[in-house]
Amino acid sequence: MDTPQTSASTPENIQWHSAFFQAIQAELIDYKDILEFKQEHPLTTEPLRIDTIIIVKPSDVTIDKNIARIFKKINILEYKSPQDYLSIKDFYKAYAYVALFAALTADVEMGDMTLTFVGNTYPRKLIRYLKEVRHYRVEEVESGIHYVKGDYLPIQILETKKLGTNKDGGSSANWVLKYLNRGLEREEMSRILKKSKELIEAAPLDAYLYALIQANLKAFEEVTKMTKDRMTVEDVLMRTGILPKWIRLGREEVARNLLKKGWTIEETAEVAELDIGKIRALSASL
C-alpha cells in the first residue's frame, strides 16, 4: 500500500473539510465524553449534507470553551476552506439546514439548536448584510469570535486566523483551528506539530496533519531541517502514530471500491489485506 506522497498539492485536492472535522474535535477534546460529532450529515435521501453537527450529551451541559459557549443540544457548523470565503448565500444555505434539521428530526426544535460559521478571514460582505439588511448586531466577544445577535437562533462566526492561542492553554486557546491554514511560518508549524503530538492519543488528527503539511510544505521542510535527522512526511506521521491509521483507511477505501465493482467478500479481503469481518461490515454499509 502506498503511503502519502510529499509532492505539492493544489487547493482542490487538499481535504480541508476532513481536516476541519478533526480540528473541531481536537479543540473540544476536554468534552469528548459528552459530545457526538457527525460529518457530512445527510438531511434527506438526496445529496443535501451539513458540514458538521455537534450533539451535546446531555443537552443541559454548558461547554466552557470560547468557541462553543453558545452551544445547545444540536449545533450546526458550516466550514469554508482557506481559499474560500463565507458568503451571503452560505448564510441562507446554513440557516435553511437548521430549519430543515428541526423539521425532519424527532424531538428537536429550533430552540434546541445553534449555528456556527467557520472561515479563515473576516467575512466583510456577509457581516455588512447581516447588519444593514437583517438588522442584526454583530459583536466580536473575543478575538476572532463574533456573536450575531437579533435572531431567535444563536449564531456565531469564527474567524480562525484571529483566534487566540494563549500559551497557558485554557478555554481561550484554539491552536488547532487557528493553524488550519496556508502560509504557516516555521515556528507555527513547529508549534502545531508539538501540539498535535500531545493530542494524538485523544483525538484523530491524521487528515488534519496531512492537509496541513500538504498546504505548508516549505514550513514543514524548514522544521525538519532543524532536527538531526531530516524527517519526511511519512516519518512525522509514523512518529505521531498516524501512518498505520492512514494505511488502514487507505485499505478500507480500496475495499469499498472493489465491493462496489462486484468483487466477493473473500476476494476483497485478500487484495485489501483486511479480515473477513471488516469486509463484511464495509459491504453492509454500502
* Higher local confidence (pLDDT), 130 or 259: 130
Residue 177 near residue 118, CB atoms below 8 Å: yes
pLDDT at 276 (0 to 100) = 87
Backbone angles phi, psi at 259, to 5 degrees: -60, -40
pLDDT for the residue numbered 256: 79
Identify the residue whose cell numbers are 444555505: 93
> What CA–CA distance (Å, rounded) separates 98 from 280?
35
Is residue 51 helix, strand or coil?
A: strand
Inform me whether the pLDDT recorded for 273 exceeds 80.
Answer: no
Beta bridge partners of 119: 159
- Model confidence over 123-159: pLDDT tens digits? 999 999 999 999 999 999 999 999 999 999 999 999 9
Domain locations in the chain as residue ranges: 13-231, 244-285
Pairing between β-strand 113-119 and β-strand 137-142 as defined by DSSP bridges: unpaired
**Is 195's pLDDT higher than 80?**
yes
As a whole number, mean pLDDT of residues 105-121 equals: 95
Pairing mode of beta strands 145-149, 137-142:
antiparallel
Give 173's pLDDT tier (boundaries 50, 70, 90): confident
User: Considering only CA atoms, which of 205, 206, 213 is closest in space to residue 188?
Assistant: 213
Cβ(127)–Cβ(159) under 8 Å?
no
pLDDT of residue 259: 85
